[in-house]
Structure 1
Amino acid sequence: MERESFEDEEVAALLNEYFVPIKVDREERPDIDNLYMAYCQALTGQGGWPLTVLLTPEQKPFYAGTYFPKQTKYGRIGMIDMLTQIREKWKHERERIVEAGDAIVQRMNEFKAESEPGSFDEEILHRAYQTLASSFDEQYGGFGGAPKFPTPHHLMFLSAYAHTYDQPQALDMVRSTLEHMHRGGIYDHVGFGFARYSTDQQWLVPHFEKMLYDNALLAIAYTDAYSLTSDEQYARVAEEIFTYVLRDMTSPEGAFYSAEDADSEGVEGKFYVFDRDEIEDVLGLEAMHTYCNVYDISPEGNFEGANIPNLIARTISDIAEERDLNELALRTDLEEYRQKLFDYREQRIHPFKDDKVLVSWNGMMIAALARASKRLQKPEYAQAATRAVDFIWQTMFREDGRLMARYREGHVAFPAYVDDYAYLIWGLLELYEATGDSRYIAYATTLKSQLISLFWDEEQGGFYFSGAEGDPLISRTKEIYDGAMPSGNSVAAWVLARLAAMTNDDELRAYAERILDAFAGSVKQYPAGYTMLMLAGMQIMNGTEEIVVSGKVEDMQYQQMLAEVQKAYRPFATLLFNESGVAGEATRKLLPHLQDKQSTSEAMTYICEGFVCHAPVTTLEALTEALQPKRS
């Protein structure tokens, strides 16, 4: 649409003469996008991008749609005809248009008021699981048909559900989806990282755009699967995602860029695909045969005459077994070939990199790196997360202390939205559990206070998307649906419940509970559309487990106990560090309830459930036993 219309002189002339054209970056201004997408869906029964909305000067929408070609064709009105007709109606029937805009706004406000409160209960969790099970693709993993989106929060919910309710089928769905996604072309087998979605059912042909948020949430899903199963392939994929992000999507200051385009040189996927002759030139004949056999590379191609490397037909393990090869040796050879192809591909013209820094998406990647640092015992990931937090804390606050949403080329803009606060708090809590640095709890507490004061709806409960002092739009929206990304309300409920558990703050826990109840009536209609909110509900129902590791930081047993707790899959437990002496004073000042759980001699671990603490565990063997799953 940009090429056909907005860069076309005839369309531009018509737009500029009779309209005030405004192009919105929906990632910088998600408040505007959310608001007018809701109106588009109300007006047309559907939504999507590109989103085209015509407004009165008072910002009230009266006409909306998605894609408009330049000229009318195939039953779809074109931009020229649409703009010409609207111009005439505005000239001769302006009063009717204004009245229509008023009526639309009134109808949408009435619809918003009908968001049903209720009581969030365990039955909603079970219905969410059953709905996902009914739409699960048994052959290729994932949910539903093409196009297929990763929706990693579905997998995070299913992992926690499998663990909590001893439901092996839920874990089977997670494993199948993670394995098939990684084998498909949606995964970049040469440079790593996931594309945004697959255009087909078997994950072969992606929309080649790579988004930071997808890769952050998928890294969490793979890390969780590793913790649950001890299957090294999941750890390997998570580490490869981080290799991609830290190599290609990290600024010199340590913050994370937003996305890479699908196109290069005007052709979608051109950067990522290969023909067989190229591979022979790079690898040589013998290595080419091995690589092409493994990764489905053929003379005729699997995508518009070219090839997307993939493992859909057979895994590397399958091929090693078929050919009676040593699997480790085969993987070593393939890694050598991959590196050569990567070096070759780097010489191509790269897709455009969207180098703006969004706090919300950075919060997700901070959470992913910190969680992987714990579960995989890789301190370098926590160090990368720390750099990103330091950048945000030093750069992305106004002088009055208000968090801002976007940074690019030295310029900070837009008061942060609820998503920015919720995701950044998530990252900070994960980073505290990875490092024990109490300043991250202090940071999270500061953000929590702003979150509540700026966004909370005292009357109905839940958080508005934009702050009370933000740009005056015609309406303040609330988001709860967990689409490509979990909603701010879902993540806020999750992190407030976790922070409440860490700080023993009953009032904070009440906010999290009220979010669940504020939307429960609506959520009950299709709970599988709110899987991050399901995680928040499980956190509130199960999240009274507190694990406190006490002792001297230089003590080997203290470090071993800490590592054992960090590696364990305990999705609703909170980990607190209680270092002896001066080292732990800052933490105990923030968390006074740790005072009676100090250790002056040997390291020990306190496991508290339902606000009752058991006798401290004093050996590594006893701790390992105590961390075994307890089923609901």
Structure 2
Amino acid sequence: MKGCVFNDMNANENSARLPSQQEMKSSHKRKPNRLISEKSPYLQQHAYNPVDWYPWGEEAFQKAVKENKPIFLSIGYSTCHWCHVMEYESFEDEEVARILNENFVSIKVDREERPDLDNIYMAVCQAMTGSGGWPLNLFLTPEKKPFFAGTYFPKTERFGNPGFIAILQKISSLWQTNKESVIASSEQITKVLQSMAFTTPGEILTKETLKHAYEQLRDTFDTIYGGFGSSPKFPTPHNYTFLLRWWKRSNDPTALEMVEKTLERMGRGGMYDQLGGGFHRYSTDEYWLVPHFEKMLYDQALTAIAYTETYQATGKPYYADIVRGIFMYVLRDMTSPEGGFYSAEDADSEGVEGKFYVWTPDEVIKILGERDGKIFCDYYDVSREGNFEEKNILHVDKPLDAFAKLEGIQTEELQELLRTAREKLFAERQKRIHPHKDDKILTSWNGLMIAALARGAQALHAPEYAQAAVRATDFILNALHRKDGTLLRRYRSGEAAIPGYLDDYAYFVWGLIDLYEATFETKYLKTALELNKQMIENFWDEKGGGLFFGGKRNEQLIAQTKEIYDGATPSGNSVALFNMLRLGRVAGNPGLGKMADQIMKAFGETINQYPSGYTQFMCALDFALGPTKEIVIAGEPDQKDTQQILQEIGKRFLPRKVLLLNSLKDKSLGEIAGFVKEQKPIENKATVYICENYACKAPANEINKIIQLLDEP
């Protein structure tokens, strides 16, 4: 079975032709189904299917009970290639629609709007089939209990995959002739599901846990091309932010080499959009050449953080350039007029995956001219044979200096030629039919992007990134922050809806903490503490410790889940743990530290079994084990000496720091962190107070002494 998580592992073999724009328009002659009233772009994509779709809700469940029909539940998202394929093959098909409409109640769910449903039913699919992905398709009893699951099904049997029509007929027959066994099976599956959220507080996590995680990553590292394993290769940026922390702690050069090899290969490969900036979803091969072309907001945020930290660790401009490219893409193409960030861009345009991004030599030479076009094609490996379905994904496999020497031109001249060429080709590419953009705004993913921009602003000394983060934050606080202090998850077309999940709180608090450190606006720190408190009240498991994914204000489903695995995105528990540790130090609140200890104990046994599966959690553990640097600058933010200190801090990799600015003009920080009240400028100079391991150094206001204190291990 195939799903978008494994989408296009063999792109040439498995890519299915999707309908053209004209074909899609013809389907709109039909009467729309109930999804036409939904805000989700994914649900609206299915609004003209002949399938009698329902959104998740009581109307569908009551119909299933009244008519004694099982539920067909299909979960996906708007930029998922194989979701599009299954729609075109099956959900647009009159025969399939007739079988579904006669025998089932069909429900469509956008996994990005309802990750709670996706978490539960994906766990079922993985348990039943050994794998998962999207589209995620399940059959449930009218009480929402699952009894059959899978991912992509072709309309009829193909490549060993069972045909969807045959599955529908088989399940319909089983429901009518042996319903009791189906219900018994669903009850058993649900009991297993309900048991999965229970945690038994146990093992202690130590420095040995960090070492074990590092060794597991090292043992699966691809020493030739970077990344882990063979193919497909996912970016998983928290693997690299953890490796940087292990390098900082252990001084093991191999850890840094693993990070640099991977991030350089990723940035030079087809995974990175060489013209427009930003990263595609993942690489279908081990070389980072042929990507799955969709672009997700969370990937931009997390990879930007990894490249920013690697720039801080190495000082190499290459990594900073990639960060700028990511932000250029997000601020140009993924930012709403109100300042929030959109969710994703599709892999497909005109029904073909990657068509928007690929080139032929003739196209390049026509735009750039014979000489420049040939140089560009040679540098970016654009050939007559092509590297992707007879066309070319731009990528760099030659060192710039060596290539310039080969061409007989100066490196600076070559850089300028390539820069101008990229601008011309990008302008031409803009005239093409663009991939679909999922323009919903999610609180959680915006939190990640806010954190990334805030960190980039500090490391690159680029206040425009902090300004973009402020705009997004203020939008979330105005549009998705309710009067009772809780968060909503999704905004689209003027409507904010769906009570926030753990990730919405944890990721947004992360963004607020980093935004405070970039702007020193105390209101963001205050809001972070308030939302962290709301999160604990809403999601904390009083019995087993840790945080549930869905809370008291969310719909109560057949089971609760606790996410801890750090996959494509870090788990809410991992991020919440890190937030609590940071906020505890900032506010001098030992209660948050104790709660962080409970989270680590709650998941200790699970994590010690395979710590490299929890690398964001390992980043938090690294902070917890210390030593931390608590840095307070006593001075005014617009003073020249304050700015000089901030530049020195920003360009350094200090993963276990917390940073506060105590301004005499703003007394509000003292209300949160009372210990700063006595930390004042000395001799009217911006003065740095650094405490480490619960011991404070002598205050310093000379830049050389401050640099010495920052660089102490």
TM-score range, shorter chain: over 0.9
* Cα deviation 1:426-461 (Å, max 9, x = unaligned): 111111111111001111011111100000001101
Distance in 1 between residues matched to 2:144 and 2:627, nearest whole Å: 44
- Name the residue aligned to 2:680: 598
The equivalences for 1:33-182 within 5 A come to 33-113=118-198, 117-182=202-267
Kindly indicate whether the alpha-carbon contact (under 8 Å) linking 2:453 and 2:465 is maintained by their aligned counterparts in 1.
yes
What's the Cα RMSD here?
A: 1.3
Note closer, same or farther for the CA distance 1:117–1:403 as it changes in structure 2 (3 Å cut).
same
Distance in 1 between residues matched to 2:395 and 2:507, nearest whole Å: 32
Distance in 1 between residues matched to 2:708 and 2:119, nearest whole Å: 48
Deviation at 1:225, TM superposition (A): 0.7
Kindly indicate whether the alpha-carbon contact (under 8 Å) linking 2:564 and 2:572 is maintained by their aligned counterparts in 1.
yes
Deviation at 1:80, TM superposition (A): 0.9
SS class of match (2:107): coil
Kindly indicate whether the alpha-carbon contact (under 8 Å) linking 1:116 and 1:522 is maintained by their aligned counterparts in 2.
no
Deviation at 1:543, TM superposition (A): 5.4
- Name the residue aligned to 2:357: 272
Distance in 2 between residues matched to 1:146 and 1:543, nearest whole Å: 37
SS class of match (1:23): strand
Distance in 2 between residues matched to 1:175 and 1:454, nearest whole Å: 40
Kindly indicate whether the alpha-carbon contact (under 8 Å) linking 2:513 and 2:528 is maintained by their aligned counterparts in 1.
yes
2:95 is equivalent to residue 10 of structure 1: yes
Kindly indicate whether the alpha-carbon contact (under 8 Å) linking 2:199 and 2:602 is maintained by their aligned counterparts in 1.
no
Deviation at 1:496, TM superposition (A): 1.0
Kindly indicate whether the alpha-carbon contact (under 8 Å) linking 2:145 and 2:190 is maintained by their aligned counterparts in 1.
yes
- Name the residue aligned to 1:314: 398
Distance in 1 between residues matched to 2:239 and 2:498, nearest whole Å: 30
Kindly indicate whether the alpha-carbon contact (under 8 Å) linking 1:262 and 1:269 is maintained by their aligned counterparts in 2.
yes
Note closer, same or farther for the CA distance 1:481–1:536 as it changes in structure 2 (3 Å cut).
same
2:561 is equivalent to residue 480 of structure 1: no
Which of 682, 691, 697 is equivalent to 1:614? 697
Note closer, same or farther for the CA distance 1:552–1:351 as it changes in structure 2 (3 Å cut).
closer
- Name the residue aligned to 1:256: 341
SS class of match (2:435): coil
- Name the residue aligned to 2:372: 287
Distance in 1 between residues matched to 2:425 and 2:503, nearest whole Å: 38
Show structure 2 runs of 5+ residues with no match.
1-85
Kindly indicate whether the alpha-carbon contact (under 8 Å) linking 1:436 and 1:577 is maintained by their aligned counterparts in 2.
yes
2:412 is equivalent to residue 331 of structure 1: no
Kindly indicate whether the alpha-carbon contact (under 8 Å) linking 1:40 and 1:47 is maintained by their aligned counterparts in 2.
yes
Distance in 1 between residues matched to 2:607 and 2:532, nearest whole Å: 25
- Name the residue aligned to 1:496: 580
2:538 is equivalent to residue 462 of structure 1: no
Deviation at 1:629, TM superposition (A): 4.7
* Cα deviation 1:380-404 (Å, max 9, x = unaligned): 0000000000000000123433200
Deviation at 1:13, TM superposition (A): 1.3
Deviation at 1:564, TM superposition (A): 1.6
Please tell me the residue identity of whatever aligns with 1:245: V
Which of 571, 575, 584 is equivalent to 2:655? 571
Single out whichever of 57-66 and 45-54 deviates more from structure 2: 45-54
Note closer, same or farther for the CA distance 1:114–1:368 as it changes in structure 2 (3 Å cut).
closer
2:442 is equivalent to residue 358 of structure 1: yes
The equivalences for 1:300-449 within 5 A come to 300-311=385-396, 313-449=397-533
- Name the residue aligned to 1:31: 116
Deviation at 1:306, TM superposition (A): 0.4
2:302 is equivalent to residue 217 of structure 1: yes
Deviation at 1:117, TM superposition (A): 3.5
* Cα deviation 1:576-618 (Å, max 9, x = unaligned): 00112xx230111221110111226222101101222111012
- Name the residue aligned to 2:8: none
Note closer, same or farther for the CA distance 1:353–1:552 as it changes in structure 2 (3 Å cut).
closer
Deviation at 1:76, TM superposition (A): 2.2
Deviation at 1:324, TM superposition (A): 4.7
Distance in 1 between residues matched to 2:685 and 2:158, nearest whole Å: 78
Distance in 2 between residues matched to 1:567 and 1:340, nearest whole Å: 33
Single out whichever of 537-546 and 440-449 deviates more from structure 2: 537-546
* Cα deviation 1:483-507 (Å, max 9, x = unaligned): 1111111111111111111111110
Deviation at 1:555, TM superposition (A): 3.3
The number of equivalent residue pairs is 627
TM-score (norm 2): 0.86
- Name the residue aligned to 1:19: 104
Kindly indicate whether the alpha-carbon contact (under 8 Å) linking 1:196 and 1:209 is maintained by their aligned counterparts in 2.
yes
Deviation at 1:515, TM superposition (A): 1.1
* Cα deviation 1:345-397 (Å, max 9, x = unaligned): 00000000000001111001000000010111100000000000000000012
SS class of match (2:175): helix
* Cα deviation 1:143-173 (Å, max 9, x = unaligned): 1110000111101111111112211110000
- Name the residue aligned to 2:642: 558
The equivalences for 1:532-551 within 5 A come to 532-542=616-626, 544-551=628-635
Distance in 1 between residues matched to 2:530 and 2:199, nearest whole Å: 33
SS class of match (2:671): helix
Distance in 2 between residues matched to 1:111 and 1:420, nearest whole Å: 22
SS class of match (1:21): strand
* Cα deviation 1:181-227 (Å, max 9, x = unaligned): 01111111111111000000000000000011001111111111111
Among the aligned pairs, what percent are the same residue? 49
Distance in 1 between residues matched to 2:249 and 2:486, nearest whole Å: 38
Distance in 1 between residues matched to 2:283 and 2:375, nearest whole Å: 26
Please tell me the residue identity of whatever aligns with 1:446: E
- Name the residue aligned to 2:270: 185
Kindly indicate whether the alpha-carbon contact (under 8 Å) linking 2:227 and 2:233 is maintained by their aligned counterparts in 1.
yes
SS class of match (1:406): strand
Kindly indicate whether the alpha-carbon contact (under 8 Å) linking 1:501 and 1:543 is maintained by their aligned counterparts in 2.
no
* Cα deviation 1:240-292 (Å, max 9, x = unaligned): 11000000000001100000000000000000001111111111111111100
Please tell me the residue identity of whatever aligns with 1:387: R
* Cα deviation 1:129-155 (Å, max 9, x = unaligned): 001111111111111110000111101
- Name the residue aligned to 2:25: none
Distance in 1 between residues matched to 2:237 and 2:625, nearest whole Å: 22
Note closer, same or farther for the CA distance 1:20–1:432 as it changes in structure 2 (3 Å cut).
same
Distance in 2 between residues matched to 1:629 and 1:331, nearest whole Å: 38
TM-score (norm 1): 0.97
Kindly indicate whether the alpha-carbon contact (under 8 Å) linking 2:154 and 2:162 is maintained by their aligned counterparts in 1.
yes
Distance in 1 between residues matched to 2:315 and 2:672, nearest whole Å: 35
2:706 is equivalent to residue 623 of structure 1: yes
Kindly indicate whether the alpha-carbon contact (under 8 Å) linking 2:283 and 2:291 is maintained by their aligned counterparts in 1.
yes
Deviation at 1:107, TM superposition (A): 2.2
Distance in 2 between residues matched to 1:428 and 1:543, nearest whole Å: 23
Distance in 2 between residues matched to 1:25 and 1:471, nearest whole Å: 15
Distance in 2 between residues matched to 1:50 and 1:118, nearest whole Å: 37
Deviation at 1:114, TM superposition (A): 6.1
Distance in 2 between residues matched to 1:554 and 1:363, nearest whole Å: 27
